[in-house]
Amino acid sequence: MTTRLCTVLVSLMTLAAVAACGRTDSSPAPASGAGEAQSWAVVRDALIEDYLQAHPVFAVVAGRHEFDGRLPDWSAAGIAAEIKRLHAARDRATAVADAALSDTARFERDYLVARFDRDLFWIEDAQAPFLNPAWYLDWIVDNLDPAPYLTRTYAPLDKRMAAYASYARAVPQAAAQIRANMRAPLARPLLDRGVSAFRGFADFYEKDVPAVFASVTDAAAQRDFRDANAAATAAMRDLASWLEAQRATATGSYALGAAAFAKMLQMTEGVNTPLAALEAAGRADLARNQQALREACAQYAPGSAIPACIAKMNANKPKGGAVGGAREQLTVLRTFVRDAGVATIPGTEEAQVAEAPPYNRANFAYIDIPGPYEKGLPATYYIAPPDPAWTAAEQRDYVPGQADLLFTSVHEVWPGHFLQFLHSNRNPSIVGRLFVGYAFAEGWAHYAEETMWEMGLGGGSPEIHIGQLSNALMRNVRFLSAIGLHTKGMTVEESERMFREEAFMDVGTARQQSTRGTYDPAYLNYTMGKLMIRKLREDWSAARGGRLAWREFHDRFLTYGGPPIPLVRRQMLGGAEGSLF
């Protein structure tokens, strides 16, 4: 999840000074050698404080709890003001001259500008706040998720209940703003995502949240909480019902179109590769993984068709279910990362494992990692149970085999997201600690799956390899579905069929994944990021011992935090960028 990084660690005194006066001076910093570097730090810190003020939920997730209980201004006027603010922030950052900046400061400046571009694409170009309810669930910026108040023990329970009550009091206004923003007719699959999420929030507020705060003994605080929570529940339920009522006029027009899709890649990830070349790279990776699967299945289930081979792997379910099985896997994986020399583990932190809350089960698994301002709080790896509305067979199929689950655990924890954020949260740059992008985060985690197999995880077991490949094939089809759904007229049904026929997915997962492509066109970032990292590893390690340099490559790659991968490529290759894929 969801969802932090680069040169000078900001002191509390600097932050206080910025908060007090930094935003009153919008002029570009002067260019004067060492003074310029100092001026860039002032500009940077002011821009970040402005960003946190505009994005209070993002700030809370990062651990800035003076923003507790606040939601952003999601009114049309508020969104217009945010577009204006982002353009002004971008202009102020780019006004700092390249020639006066060190390489490190220039990278940090470009990294921050890339974040502004990412946000601008979604709210200005894609018009996501008005067309796509899933925008209000975005793990990268602000969203409605109250998880920090419920699951992060950053303060005593009574203090977190008061913060949650403030949040809940803000929900009715947010719901009204979301409803006013939606431009009917909406695309049907996007509408469905909104109904599911907002109804899920209502059920979660009503059924699950009270139990979290039940032990708080202050009667007045409990009354305040109950009143606020009831109002939030009603607001979310009403919003879901209103969206449901729009179904009669809903359309199938979810596609961004080729021009907007290409602009998405450029503005959000710095990728300018033509779509035809990008699709060709994805198809080549799909073919490579399908061939590897055929070879593994010939060993594991000789004479069986691929679906039967996958079924055999998935029939070997993890003991104790997915949650219990994942807990056991994390110990094994951490040991392997250390002993096989995959990457440096920069701390002693461990990730917990739990069942995903009802409002956030659109994908099988995700990890919630405390932000860079938090201290000593655990991360939680969440796993979604099957949808109870599915048939018994679909629910059984949804629980992955233990080999499949192993690589989900690799992806989310060791050495995927959790290890990545152990590094990014220690980055000396506040830009790097705060801002981790989609292709960097998901590309690294997906890259980690194949790399762990290549470095010996599973000891050559064909069953384990099939588990890795089943995850890779799903991400391959996400990549091709995103391009197909948004640029080539592919239907949701055609995407679902591709997940079933090309990635050999069960019905429930194929349906879930094909629908996700409509409201999350950037989910191609898993494979796109992986391919860019593999190509960078190949180019960087070629003169450094090849495979012998992989650990060094991984450690260095993770020092950058989470910017667009093309920025990292330029830094690691000294400007000799070459081909991304």
Residue 379 lies in a domain: no
pLDDT of residue 36: 52
Name the band, by pLDDT with cuts 50, 70 and 90, for residue 398.
confident
Q: What backbone phi and psi angles, to 5 degrees, belong to 120?
A: -60, -40
Residue 577 lies in a domain: yes
Helical H segments across 301-437, by residue range = 306-315, 321-339, 392-398, 402-412, 417-424, 430-434
Q: Are 52 and 19 found together in one domain?
A: yes
Residue 511 lies in a domain: yes
Name the band, by pLDDT with cuts 50, 70 and 90, for residue 37.
low
- Report pLDDT digits (tens) over 509-561: 899 999 999 999 999 999 999 999 999 999 999 999 999 999 999 999 999 99
Q: If you compute the radius of gyration of the chain from its CA atoms, what whole number of angstroms results?
A: 23
Q: Are 442 and 574 found together in one domain?
A: yes
Residue 324 lies in a domain: yes
pLDDT of residue 395: 83
Among residues 205, 4, 177, 186, the alpha carbon closest in space to that of 75 is found at 177
Q: Let me know the angle formed at the C-alpha of 214 by 208 and 218, rounded to the nearest 5 degrees.
A: 140
Q: Are 59 and 204 found together in one domain?
A: no
34 token code pair: 């060492």
Name the band, by pLDDT with cuts 50, 70 and 90, for residue 337.
very high
19: pLDDT strictly greater than 80: no
Q: Are 237 and 322 found together in one domain?
A: no
Alpha-carbon span 321 to 277, nearest angstrom: 41
Give the mean pLDDT of 263-278.
98
Alpha-carbon span 330 to 409, nearest angstrom: 7
Q: Are 578 and 514 found together in one domain?
A: yes
Total-model pTM: 0.91
Query: Which DSSP helix (H) or strand (E) runs through 353?
Result: strand 351-355
- Using a pLDDT cut of 90, give the percent of the chain over it: 84
Residue 138 lies in a domain: no
Residue 6 lies in a domain: no
pLDDT of residue 164: 98
As for how many domains the chain has, the answer is 3
Alpha-carbon span 424 to 444, nearest angstrom: 13
Q: Are 177 and 80 found together in one domain?
A: no
Q: Are 298 and 324 found together in one domain?
A: yes
Strand 379-383 to 351-355 pairing? parallel
pLDDT of residue 419: 98
38: pLDDT strictly greater than 80: no
Check: CB of residue 183 under 8 Å from CB of residue 130.
yes
- Report pLDDT digits (tens) over 442-487: 999 999 999 999 999 999 999 999 999 999 999 999 999 999 999 9
pLDDT of residue 359: 62
pLDDT of residue 279: 98
Residue 50 lies in a domain: yes
Alpha-carbon span 49 to 373, nearest angstrom: 13
From 58, 93, 125, give the residue that closes a domain: 125
Expressed in angstroms, the distance from the first to the final Cα of the chain is 26
Name the band, by pLDDT with cuts 50, 70 and 90, for residue 99.
confident
Largest CA distance in the chain: 72
pLDDT of residue 575: 74
Name the band, by pLDDT with cuts 50, 70 and 90, for residue 166.
very high
362 token code pair: 């659109």
Residue 377 lies in a domain: no
From 219, 249, 279, give the residue that closes a domain: 249
- Report pLDDT digits (tens) over 198-214: 999 999 999 999 999 99
6: pLDDT strictly greater than 70: no
User: Could you list the residue range(s) of the whole structural domain that residue 458 is in?
Assistant: 256-348+389-581
Supply the DSSP string of 116-181, one letter for each residue.
HHHHHIIIIIS-HHHH-GGGGG-SSS--S--HHHHH--SS-HHHHHHHHHHHHHHHHHHHHHHHHH
357: pLDDT strictly greater than 80: no
From 249, 264, 288, give the residue that closes a domain: 249
Q: Are 440 and 318 found together in one domain?
A: yes
Check: CB of residue 28 under 8 Å from CB of residue 89.
no
Q: Are 315 and 332 found together in one domain?
A: yes
3: pLDDT strictly greater than 60: no
To which residue do tokens 């194949």 refer? Answer: 450
Q: Are 299 and 426 found together in one domain?
A: yes
To which residue do tokens 């009114």 refer? Answer: 75
User: 3-state SS string over 224-267?
Assistant: HHHHHHHHHHHHHHHHHHHHHHHHHHCECCCCCCHHHHHHHHHH
Of 578 and 570, more confident: 570
Which amino acid, residue 528?
M
Give the mean pLDDT of 149-159.
94
Q: Are 293 and 225 found together in one domain?
A: no
Q: Are 317 and 409 found together in one domain?
A: yes
pLDDT of residue 30: 36
pLDDT of residue 362: 66
